[in-house]
Structure 1
Amino acid sequence: MNLTEFLNINSDKYLKNPAIGFKKRDDWETISWLKLRTLVFKTANALRKSEICAGDKVAIYADNSAEWIIFDLAILSMGAVTVPIYSTNNKEQAAYILENSETKIVLVGNQQQYDDCLEILQESQSLKEIIVAKKAVWIKQDRSAFLEDYIAKVSDEFEIVERNDEDLATIIYTSGTTGVPKGVMLSHGNFLKTFQAHTDFFKFENFDRQKSLAFLPLSHIFEHCWTLYCLQSGVKVYFLENTKLIANALVEVKPTFMCAVPRFYQKIYAGVNQTIDQGSESKKKVFKWAIKVGTEISELKRQDKSVSLGLIFKNYFANKLVFNKIKKKLGGELWFMPCGGASLSEDITRFFDAMGIHITVGYGLTETTATLTAFPFKNYRHGTAGKSIGDVEIKIGENDEILVKGSSIMQGYYKLPKETAEVFTEDGWFKTGDAGEIDNEGNLKITDRIKDLMKTSNGKYIAPQPMENALSNDAFIDQVMLIAEGKSFVTAVIVPDFENLEKELPKLNINLDSWENVVKLPAIHKFYENKISEIQKSISSFEKIKKFILMPEAFEISAGEITPTLKIKRNVVLKKYHDLIEEMY
């Protein structure tokens, strides 16, 4: 069936209960299930009036918002195909996606996106109309309309178009750390089977009483799929438009669920540890005791064993003295946090477990409708990516590559039959491009991206992710990229955490004039040299970073240096900073 059929089911079941939330000026507002269905159906009828038919492509080029999800559901409900575009994409990237997908209508969110699409519209063979999400944007009336006006005079009487499992639902263009974006084709069946796999795997209780905060971009499969699953299940979803306001949003919304990428958890972990390191000896002792108690109780729960009254009593005080202060900054009600996009060190998952917040580490790709594996609630193993969900089959192929089969696997890359054929084996296994291993309990461990695996000129293989993760866990390191391919030794490009480093400068008798000058100072270099030496003391000599560069500013999405999920684009950085890197050798 059409994956949006839940609109009819839930609007009958929950009536005037809140379905979605959004921030309007300073206050969070909600839209009921009945109102959501009305807005979606009116939007679908307006699209139909614009001659959009089943199978046509309609794009969304905007930040997360209520309008984003309403437009998406409207597209899907009429059997058309959603083409999400990252709000951080520039005009050239957006133009490529719009033209390649033959998009007919695009929803935009801000002035820059509108201006860019207006220019694209003048030359496009397929794009016919631009819809603007909010009236804060100044628009020219020619082939443009505000969403509110676009749907004002149409009926809310609408019958959801039937779809089967093979019918296309969305084309998601991979941001990718290498190469040109490829349009991943996902069907209604891909989504519906993934939803069912999550329900069977987690067996949530009172799921429809939960609150999810959509923090990651909806244009990414991770947040998109999770949000649709939550809505299907009756979970109230709040949409955060400005990710810089996440700290405030957590306290205001008090979500119970939230998807995030490893960098989010690393920042919290590093910040807490830095605060403790700078505290008194008594505070350090209390924190250490609380972690010990929290770990004991979380380990018993993980192994599905009973917890003694004495330990429950100790844990009450551990929460009161330590954990509640941290959890309060996260809203105080978070207990389930799916994590994907890259690997996460077990130090961090154990730390959050000790606090009573279950980070559900998972593994998946855009091509697999996100989740292939995840931590269950019991008997998971730290340091792995969990166990397969639903009908997912996994095996390890040549070069330790992870191969998968299942109903969540994409139909292929849009208009790219050759590239599609290249990622499937002759007997139908999808080649993930990641290296891994499976333990005797069925847990998958990601060892590295095969494309990222580096071979030094001495013939030694270097897997960069474990060391990059270890370094990123430090409070003074924001971003890091290892270099070793074809080189005689390992080096690194490091972006300091400037906020924390600035607080450290007085202790080093350094005045901040400009970061460009500060990162070149011998004292700063020595400060980071000591940190790196401590972090990598237990690894083999050939894996150790021998030299490094400190960057004066962070890698940016807008500069094309990192993806929207904060992964560094290695080829871009290697090319852009080629001369600086070569100086280390």
Structure 2
Amino acid sequence: MPETLRETSTPATFDIKPEMSVNMLIPERLAENPESIFAERRIDGGPFTPITIRQLDEDVRATAKGFAARGLEPGDTVGIMCRTRYEWTVLDLAVLSLGGVVVPIYQTSSRDQVEWMTTDSNIHTIFVEDAEQYGVVAPLLETTQLEHLLVIDDGALDDLRNEGQGVDDETISTRASAVRSTDVATICYTSGTTGRPKGVELTHANLLAHVKNGTGDPGLGFVVTPVEDGAQKRVLLFLPLAHSYGRFVEFLGLASSSIIGYAPDTKKLIDDMQEFRPTWFIAVPRVFETVYNSADAKAGTGVTKRLFRWAVNAVQAYSLALDTAEGPSTLQTWRRTVALKLVLGRILDLMGGQLGFAISGGAALSNRHAHFFRGLGIELMEGYGATETTAPASVNRPGHIKLGSAGAPYPGIELRIADDGEILIGGASVFRGYHNNPEATAEALDAEGWFHSGDLGYIDADGYLHISGRRKEIIVTAGGKNVQPAVLENALRSHPLISEVMVVGEGKPFIGAMIALDEGMLPGWLANRGLPSLSLEQARVSPEVRDALQTAIDQANRKVSRAESIRKFTIVRRAFSEAEGEISASTKVIRRVVLEHFQDAMVELYGEG
């Protein structure tokens, strides 16, 4: 282990005063330039069309008047179940302007999940996007205290505006200014990897501190400045707004004067990137891995495949050399230039052609992908955080990037490593507690206000955080060996054939792995190797598929000792499913459910359940 630190911090760039709230963000933008563009969105599948900050203000005010006319009081909760679209933001800001509390609900949530959130946070009004979501939630009108279920696609916001015509602007302004920084702004329910999802209470101070510190001192913050070369920066928002990182982008875009591009359909992500042309965005590692794997699959075979691999090696070598005292050599620079011109430039074009930096969060990104994108010219900055820390707690920043790390503390955040290696987090963006759950709050927040993350890691001598796994996920084999599955899982997930992987072995004689194939990548992978098309069931027993996975496992095993290495793997009968409760809405594997649903895989690995 290299030299490490027990604590590190980055100073805040903005002080939160009691009278401040998220409601100050729109007036600040209006004062700068009421005709500046707030966002762009597609309407009925058409081109991206702009929305000014003046239009946002008018829409939020009109919607807030409707809520006021309906009797929304400070502290009342409103649920929003909708894809990433402009109406989500309008509803969000309208509720907050009246001192209400927003409860984000993933559009993929089951009826049981929505019922738990509705009853736990006492929701009386939920907005859903369409008839399908209405069908999921409607039974709760009979079984819970839910009174109003409104459908956005059926004109719910227009109805609100009509109802609020008798409410004046002064009423809305007075209520917005009465909101305090300590007031709860939102209750965000966690993935629920163990038991019931917990409602994370985030205050206006939590949200405001994060976005203001992210646009502050260029030496400390994200450097998400309002303009670049005379133009506003552009951020494509495709993460769900029920996800803490998606919500962070929403508020950060508003605070930084970046233009937000709403991308509700991730299947059209490449089309949206090409038309919207973002200068930055935040995504989970799987997005970056998919871009690379798709490019690799399209490279074909023979000479074109060898040329692609040469180009990849060239840009990765250039990126690696950036971390040396000497920097890239003349030959490395020349090779990168040729690689971009002949082969890889089209990847940049696919992402819009002007992407300057991107932030990866939610899980670890492999080093080879990080160096690939940096070699392309995109500053790829890994971060780390949780819903309880209002998204990022640490992040690599432009000019201060250490690939392979989760970065230095986010401005205003303190990090501490406990005696057992657990990461503790302090600062203005740490949540105030779990809703209606004092026992869980006491377990997560100590007397000094430190959030006990449950993650393991260390801080290097330069103050950068490194994540090594989850404390509660440590596997103890029959031989008494402690194994952290994240090391192996993170190394394997980037393989084009692997959709998801779960390392197992609790109480067993050796470590095994359950692998779910990526059904989208499988056909191209087979075709590029001159292999016939295979069904998922056929691929499970294909010697070529299994040999490729074994090679990937052999490479991953080099990161651990023999006692920790994967000795046997099985390809499961289907992909892990969010609908079956095996994957959370934030793409985390829920281990206990997978073990319950895939007992046949455990029998294949160990001869018993």
TM-score in same-fold range (> 0.5): yes
Does structure 1 retain, via aligned residues, the 8 Å contact 2:503–2:514?
A: yes
Residue pairs, 1:280-295, within 5 angstroms: 280=303, 281-282=306-307, 284-295=309-320
Alpha-carbon distance change, 424 to 206 in structure 1, aligned in 2, over 3 angstroms: closer
1:467 to partner: Cα distance = 1.3
Residue pairs, 1:550-569, within 5 angstroms: 550-569=571-590
1:100 to partner: Cα distance = 0.9
**Alignment deviations for residues 114-167 of structure 1 (CA, whole Å, 9 cap, x no partner):** 123322112322x221222113xxxxxxxxx72222213534723124322211
Which stretch shifts more, 405-414 or 470-479? 470-479
Does structure 2 retain, via aligned residues, the 8 Å contact 1:363–1:371?
A: yes
Does structure 2 retain, via aligned residues, the 8 Å contact 1:295–1:353?
A: no
Aligned to 1:152: 162
1:210 aligns with 2:233: yes
Does structure 2 retain, via aligned residues, the 8 Å contact 1:394–1:405?
A: yes
Cα distance in 1 between the residues matched to 2:336 and 2:455: 39
**Secondary structure, aligned partner of 2:239:** coil
Does structure 2 retain, via aligned residues, the 8 Å contact 1:196–1:390?
A: no
Aligned to 2:95: 75
Alpha-carbon distance change, 130 to 189 in structure 1, aligned in 2, over 3 angstroms: same
Aligned to 1:242: 265
1:551 to partner: Cα distance = 2.4
**Alignment deviations for residues 307-328 of structure 1 (CA, whole Å, 9 cap, x no partner):** 9999877655443233321111
Residue pairs, 1:180-195, within 5 angstroms: 180-195=196-211
Which stretch shifts more, 64-73 or 513-522? 513-522
Residue identity matched to 1:20? A
Structure 2 spans left out of the alignment, 5+ residues: 1-19
1:19 aligns with 2:38: yes
Does structure 2 retain, via aligned residues, the 8 Å contact 1:251–1:328?
A: yes
**Alignment deviations for residues 349-370 of structure 1 (CA, whole Å, 9 cap, x no partner):** 2221111111221111101111
Does structure 1 retain, via aligned residues, the 8 Å contact 2:311–2:340?
A: no
Cα distance in 2 between the residues matched to 1:458 and 1:465: 20
Count residues in correspondence. 571
Cα distance in 1 between the residues matched to 2:328 and 2:521: 39
Residue identity matched to 2:157? L
Alpha-carbon distance change, 100 to 250 in structure 1, aligned in 2, over 3 angstroms: same
1:222 aligns with 2:245: yes
**Alignment deviations for residues 6-32 of structure 1 (CA, whole Å, 9 cap, x no partner):** 212213422223212222122222221
Residue identity matched to 2:76? D
Aligned to 1:197: 213
1:337 aligns with 2:358: yes
Cα distance in 2 between the residues matched to 1:285 and 1:66: 42
1:477 aligns with 2:498: yes
Cα distance in 1 between the residues matched to 2:133 and 2:352: 32
Structure 1 spans left out of the alignment, 5+ residues: 136-144
Cα distance in 2 between the residues matched to 1:508 and 1:192: 52
**Alignment deviations for residues 502-525 of structure 1 (CA, whole Å, 9 cap, x no partner):** 244468886546322431345543
Alpha-carbon distance change, 539 to 33 in structure 1, aligned in 2, over 3 angstroms: same
Which stretch shifts more, 331-340 or 413-422? 331-340
Correspondence for 1:173 among 178, 189, 196? 189
Residue identity matched to 2:436? K
**Alignment deviations for residues 337-360 of structure 1 (CA, whole Å, 9 cap, x no partner):** 111111222222222111111122
Cα distance in 2 between the residues matched to 1:487 and 1:581: 10
Aligned to 1:571: 592
Higher relative contact order (CA 8 A, sep 6+): 2
**Secondary structure, aligned partner of 2:442:** helix
**Alignment deviations for residues 183-216 of structure 1 (CA, whole Å, 9 cap, x no partner):** 0000001111112221232362643411111111
Correspondence for 2:400 among 360, 379, 385? 379
**Alignment deviations for residues 40-81 of structure 1 (CA, whole Å, 9 cap, x no partner):** 001111001111011111110111111101000001111111
Residue pairs, 1:505-516, within 5 angstroms: 505=526, 511-512=532-533, 514-516=535-537
Alpha-carbon distance change, 294 to 371 in structure 1, aligned in 2, over 3 angstroms: closer
1:260 aligns with 2:283: yes
**Secondary structure, aligned partner of 2:472:** coil
Correspondence for 1:361 among 371, 382, 385? 382
